[in-house]
Amino acid sequence: MIDVSIDFARCDANGTCAALMPDVFAIGDNGLLEQLATTVTDDRSEDLDEVVLCCPMGAISRS
């Protein structure tokens, strides 16, 4: 499993990550980002890399 972390202080809730990986990231009714899962399976590593790269605020990290 791969750990997924969000720096909520950097996030501006633009929704890019939620569009790409909606089972992990979502924009809530309050307009703020919600993290729905803190891990993803290893077979989703490339998809997660794309999400990390696409976050314009550099707010997502993996470990």
Q: Which residues of the shown chain bind ligand SF4 in the complex (CB under 6 A)?
A: 6, 11-17, 25, 33, 55, 57, 59-60
Nearer Cβ to ligand SF4, position 6 or 40? 6
User: How far apart are alpha carbons 32 and 29 in whole angstroms?
Assistant: 7
Helix (H) or strand (E) holding 60: strand 60-62
CB of 58 vs ligand SF4, minimal distance in Å: 8
Tokens 């750990």 locate to 3
Nearer Cβ to ligand SF4, position 15 or 62? 15
CB of 53 vs ligand SF4, minimal distance in Å: 10
Q: Which two tokens stand for residue 10?
A: 């950097």
Identity of the residue numbered 15: G
